[in-house]
Amino acid sequence: MPLDTRRLTGPESSQSPYNFAPVNKLDLTQLDKRPDGRSIKKLRPLFLRTNVVSQARGSSYIEMNETKVICAVYGPREVLRREDFSLKGQLTCDFKFTTFSCRQRRQYQQDSQEKDLSVLVLEALEPAVCLHKYPKSQINIFITVLQHDGSALSAAITCASVALASAGIEMYDLVVASSAAICGSVTLIDPTAQEEDALLKATVKPDNNAGSVTVAFLPSLSQVSAISSDGELSFEILNKSMQECVANCQKLYPVLEHTLVKHQQELEAGRS
């Protein structure tokens, strides 16, 4: 491109001003109280609602303080392409962060992290859905993270399972997910974005543990439907935090049940 000398040309690439802003560092090794006032073992309060997208077959909205996720379920509908025919139903999942959901602006197109998360959500939900009841059909799940303040994956899985249930899709069980961040000997339950970030940038000694784990659990079958971990962790610590996450999923289960009961009551009230 020829250079236009009459115009004041800006730099070719630009950076976020946040890169130059001082970050308030979080010392993960000395945490008796977290920035939001929770204790290290405490979950954030969960707000769940169904029927937020009127056009969708089923939908739900989840809020864990500043993490806000909306999910819509469409289908079961006919598989369009003939070569995709199968006797088992197909589940698809589209996970998307809105461009404004994170500290840094995200791209409109789905990036590799979002693709990875889509697959993880799908794998968490697949064991719970009775796909053999939906031959030749597909069920589409669309997840949008409106605001990301940590544990977006677990929020998305929980939200999507409620949306599936509210859509009347036959399922073996609900899926509840929970996550934990680990730094040294400290395990932070339900980490916020600030805590997750601090962990990523933590300059931990080589033999120290630093990472995070997310577990998706089927509470009434007592089965783990998905597990994913990041960072460097020892076997014992990973095992221990997994058990903790499972226990937390059990704790959250009544909230999901309550939401679905309310959803059903609203449906029946609407009918009569």
Partner 1 sequence: MGDAGLSEAEKTFILHSVQDDFREDGRGNEDFRHMELETSLISNTNGSARVRLANTDVLVGVKVQLTPVDPERPEVGRLEFFIDCSANATPAFEGRGGEELGSEISAMLTRAYAFPGAVDFHSLCVLPGQQCWLLYVDVLLLECGGNLFDAVSIAVKAALFNLKIPNVTMTKDEGGVELDLSDDPFDFKRLDVSGAPIIITVNKIGHYHVVDASEKEEECSLARLMLGVTEKGTITAMRKEGSGSLDPNSISDMMEVNTRFLCLPGI
Selection from 54, 47, 44, 6 nearest residue 266 by Cα: 54
Nearer of residues 40 and 119 to partner 1, judged by Cβ: 119
| Degrees, nearest 5: CA angle 133-134-138 | 155
Q: For residue 243, state whether it binds partner 1 (rule: CB under 8 A).
A: yes
Q: For residue 193, state whether it binds partner 1 (rule: CB under 8 A).
A: no
Q: For residue 128, state whether it binds partner 1 (rule: CB under 8 A).
A: yes
- Cβ atoms of residues 150 and 195 within 8 Å: yes
Q: For residue 170, state whether it binds partner 1 (rule: CB under 8 A).
A: no
Strands 58-64 vs 67-78: parallel, antiparallel or unpaired: antiparallel
Q: Judged by CB under 8 A, which of 5, 30, 203, 272 binds partner 1?
A: 203
Q: Which long-range contacts (CB under 8 A, 24 or more apart) does 7-13 make?
A: none
Selection from 115, 141, 146 nearest residue 47 by Cα: 146
Q: For residue 177, state whether it binds partner 1 (rule: CB under 8 A).
A: no
Q: For residue 163, state whether it binds partner 1 (rule: CB under 8 A).
A: no
- Cβ atoms of residues 251 and 176 within 8 Å: no
Q: For residue 120, state whether it binds partner 1 (rule: CB under 8 A).
A: yes
Q: Which stretch binds partner 1 (CB under 8 A): 143-151, 153-161, 183-191, 223-231?
A: 223-231
* Secondary structure (DSSP) of 138-190: EEEEEEEEEE-SS-HHHHHHHHHHHHHHHTT--BSS--EEEEEEEETTEEEES
Q: Which stretch binds partner 1 (CB under 8 A): 47-55, 150-158, 228-236, 254-262?
A: 228-236
State in angstroms the smallest separation of the CB of 200 from partner 1. 8
Is the bond preceding residue 135 a cis peptide, omega within 30 degrees? no
Nearer of residues 92 and 265 to partner 1, judged by Cβ: 92
Residues numbered 19 to 58 that lie near partner 1 (CB under 8 A) are 19
Q: Judged by CB under 8 A, which of 176, 177, 210, 252 binds partner 1?
A: 210
Q: Which stretch binds partner 1 (CB under 8 A): 11-19, 60-68, 159-167, 264-272?
A: 11-19
CA distance 94 to 140: 8
Q: Which stretch binds partner 1 (CB under 8 A): 49-57, 140-148, 179-187, 204-212?
A: 204-212
What are 270's two structure tokens? Answer: 């609407």
DSSP code at position 134: S
Under the rule (CB under 8 A), what is the footprint of partner 1? 15-16, 19, 112, 115-116, 119-120, 123, 126-128, 131, 203-204, 206-207, 209-211, 213, 218, 221-235, 238-239, 242-243, 246
